[in-house]
Amino acid sequence: MSSALPCLSLVSMSASEVLPSHYVRTTSVDEVRQNGAMVVHAGGLTLALFVDADRVYAVENRCPHMGFPLHRGTLKAGILTCHWHHARFELESGGTFDPWADDARVFPVEVREGDVWVDVTANGDLVEHHRRRLGDGLERNLRLVVAKAVIALDNAGLPPTDALTIGLEFGTRYRAGGWGRGLTTLACMVNLIPWLRRDDRRLALYQGLSEVALESAGTAPRFPIRPLPGDGRNPAAFKRWFRQFVEVRDAEGAERCIVSAIRAGMTPTQLADMLFAAATDHRYVTAGHLVDFTNKALESLDAAGWQHAARVLPSLAGEFAFGERMEEANAWRHPVDVVALVEEAGERLPGAVLSGQRRRLEGLEELLDAVLGDDPRTSVETLLRALEQGADPVEVAGAVAHTAALRIARFHTSNEFADWDTALHTFTFASAVEQGLRRAPSPELVRGVFDAAMSVYLDRFLNVPPARLPEPDGSEDPETLLEELPRCLDRQQQVNETGTLVAGYLAAGGDPDALLSAFGAALLREDRNFHTIQMVEASFRQWADTRDRVFLVAAARYLAAHAPTPRAQGQTFTIAERLHRGERLYEDPS
Ligand code: FES
């Protein structure tokens, strides 16, 4: 935006002054005066010229809100009002009184011997302007403003981590509750970007940032706690203190521990270890969201840079302190006390895991059957035995994530609709534990594998009766199936059909990357909720690590159960794209 004055008094001009060459003659002052407002073309721009109180003004003739011609607006007392949605602009600076509209672009004017000359080069720092507009959109929860800023920043060549960093800064500062679903959605969206088509990447960012804005809207800001004075403490002390404070639900003590640990120079692995240990001191906290949120916060730092750790990680403290512990849930206590089973297993774990040489998991089928079976003791004992025999905890965790995905792949549509989320929680938790073990393996976090297995056990009713798993013969044309995917998701409850389609595509040798891109596009055109993005992101991640198609079948079925939606978010983004291309939204294209 120009910071120079867009006008000059008609009476102060000296005919002898020479203008710089970038000034362009447009028209005469008399013509502008006769017309009240006048449209001229100069330097590749379309400008609206106004005369007001003996001064000439030049404004880009395109309302920054949705592109309506500003020469058709009303000028009164120095304020130009657009005639589409009534955004108001101070004519001299272009500044708006309606933050949803953005400031109008104005250009310096010189009058020479009755002619109007305009400096059409005045642009200012557009990248900084769009960064600031992204902040405005987040603060005021304005989706269109967020969309326009994301598109402009992407077009300027900025990497997605730039917008991620702005979202992290905003979401951790302006939500008293700290890290939540909004930032988790943003982290998931950034994780999906490598699999997405070029045009879908900024749509993903827009959706993630919009969720951050929505979740922060109307809440009090968060006031961060300073680290302890001094330094030189060892990491073991912080880990012990943090777990102790979380145990007694002391969020402030826990937060001071985190921020002090960062200041003391604990490494990313040590910090992850401290967080995951406390996250698994109690059973399946907040239906698994605590471990998942923690994992996503760590992943967002991997992407944005660990220099943001002191802002991001302390924002998790509330989730740690106030999470719902399954020790207090009836289903985890009766008729079988599965909490006691996990606790007993936990006491045997330090000797069973992370000692000696790791080996490939043997007896995978037996382990899968035990976890999916009706006896939680057998499940726990089989897992313990695998670990005692030296199986890699990551591989064991992956096997449990497979069983959790199977619950969704076999989820029968005669279940209550809300139970999709029961199965989803188990899967995303199991996946987060597996990802956490890759980052910071520890006996404490391995307890999460047992939590996930117990949740798979408790979810067994969701597979009564079981939906049939697709058994494709690989004879179908993958391209035809890929084209059919979005059409399938245009119709409600095509759960089995979509799962079968995805399985058939992979069995026929279709390109997995093309499938994931199409899948991502299908997700992003929906007003997908928090759980759907969790489901798809975790499935993509597990697929990438294993090439096990059950993850994509499960995700396809889950998405199909939750599609189609009104697709209103996509409509807002489409408006922003059309505006960016310079289209005239106020005209009927037909
Ligand atoms: S207010 Fe001008 S286009 Fe909406």
pLDDT at 265 over 80: yes
Alpha-carbon distance 282 to 564, whole Å? Answer: 37
* C-beta of 87 in contact with ligand 1 (< 6 A): yes
* pLDDT over 60 at 40, yes or no: yes
Unique residue bearing structure tokens 């300027």:
156
Is the predicted pLDDT of residue 307 greater than 60, yes or no? Answer: yes
pLDDT tens, 90-101?
A: 999 999 999 999
Q: State mean pLDDT over 328-344.
A: 97
In the predicted structure, residue 543 carries a pLDDT above the cut 50: yes
Indicate whether residue 84 lines ligand 1 (CB < 6 A): yes
Query: Is residue 236 very low, low, confident or very high in pLDDT (cuts 50, 70, 90)?
Result: confident
pLDDT recorded at residue 10: 44
> pLDDT at residue 208 above 60?
yes
Distance between CA 376 and CA 386 in Å, rounded? 15
Q: Are 414 and 471 in contact (CB under 8 A)?
A: no
Query: Between 589 and 72, whose confidence is greater?
Result: 72
What is the predicted pLDDT for the residue at 8? 45
Rounded to the nearest 5 degrees, what angle is found at the Cα of 538, between the Cα atoms of 532 and 540? 100
Ramachandran region, residue 85 (left: φ > 0; alpha: ψ -120 to 50; beta: rest): alpha
Residue of minimum CA distance from atom 1 in ligand 1: 85
pLDDT reported for residue 11 = 39
pLDDT at residue 473 greater than cutoff 90: yes
pLDDT of residue 15: 46
Q: What is the pLDDT of residues 147-179, one digit of tens each?
A: 999 999 999 999 999 999 999 999 999 999 999
Q: Which residues neighbour 306 within 8 Å (Cβ) at sequence distance 6 or greater?
A: 268
Residue 350 has a pLDDT of 67
Residue 579 Cβ contacting ligand 1 at under 6 Å: no
pLDDT of 43 over the 80 cut:
yes
Q: What is the pLDDT of residues 67-84, one digit of tens each?
A: 999 999 999 999 999 999
Place of tokens 């992956």: 398
pLDDT tens by residue, 350-383: 666 766 567 788 889 999 999 999 999 999 999 9
Task: Please enumerate in sequence order all residues whose Cβ is within 8 A of that of 461, keeping only pairs 6 or more positions apart, or say none.
Answer: none
Give mean pLDDT, residues 247-269: 97
pLDDT at 566 over 50: yes
Average pLDDT value for residue range 255-266: 96
What pLDDT score was predicted for residue 352? 63
Residue nearest to atom 3 of ligand 1 (CA): 66
Q: Band the pLDDT of 588: cuts 50, 70, 90.
A: confident
Strand order in the sheet with 79-81: 74-76, 79-81, 88-90
pLDDT of residue 12: 42
Q: Among 66, 65, 97, 67, which Cα is nearest to 80's? A: 97
pLDDT mean over 506-515: 97
In this prediction, residues 42-55 reach a mean pLDDT of 93
| Domain range 7-119, CATH class | mainly beta
Higher-confidence position of 16 and 49? 49
Cβ of 447 below 6 Å from ligand 1: no
Write the secondary structure of 149-187 as one string of H (helix), E (strand) and C (coil). Answer: HHHHHHHCCCCHHHHHHHHHHHHHHCCCCCCCHHHHHHH
How far away, in angstroms, is 117 Cα from ligand 1 center? 27
The answer to whether residues 164 and 304 touch, using CB atoms and an 8 Å cutoff, is: yes
Q: Is the pLDDT of residue 134 over 90?
A: yes
Q: How is residue 496 written in tokens?
A: 């089995």
Q: How far is the CA of 65 from the centre of ligand 1 (A)?
A: 5
Return the pLDDT at 206: 98
CA atoms of 75 and 77, how far apart (whole Å):
7
Does the beta carbon of 82 sit less than 6 angstroms from any atom of ligand 1? yes
Q: Which pLDDT value is given to residue 363?
A: 86
Ligand 1 pocket member 585 (CB < 6 A): no
Minimum-distance ligand 1 atom for the alpha carbon of 68: 3
> Which residue puts its alpha carbon closest to atom 4 of ligand 1?
85
- 403 pLDDT above the threshold of 70: yes
Transcribe 69-93 into DSSP letters: -GGGSEEETTEEE-TTT--EEETTT
Residue 393 has which token pair?
């905890």
Beta bridge partners of 76: 79
**Can you give the pLDDT at residue 357?**
65
Q: Specify the range with the lowest mean pLDDT, choosing from 3-17, 379-393, 452-466, 550-564.
A: 3-17
pLDDT tens digits along 119-128:
998 677 889 9
User: Could you report the per-residue pLDDT of 407-448, keeping only the tens digit for each?
Assistant: 999 999 999 999 999 999 999 999 999 999 999 999 999 999
Average pLDDT, the chain: 94
Query: What is the mean predicted confidence (pLDDT) over 323-347?
Result: 97
Q: Which of 74, 84, 575 to mutate to test the pocket of ligand 1 (most atoms within 8 A of CB)?
A: 84
Ligand 1 atom with the smallest distance to the CA of 67 is 3
Structure confidence at residue 9 as a pLDDT band (50, 70, 90): very low
In this predicted structure, the answer to whether residue 141 has a pLDDT above a threshold of 90 is yes
User: How much distance in Å is there from the Cα of 88 to the middle of ligand 1?
Assistant: 9
Give me 272's structure tokens: 């992850």
Binning pLDDT at 50, 70 and 90, where does residue 555 land?
Answer: very high
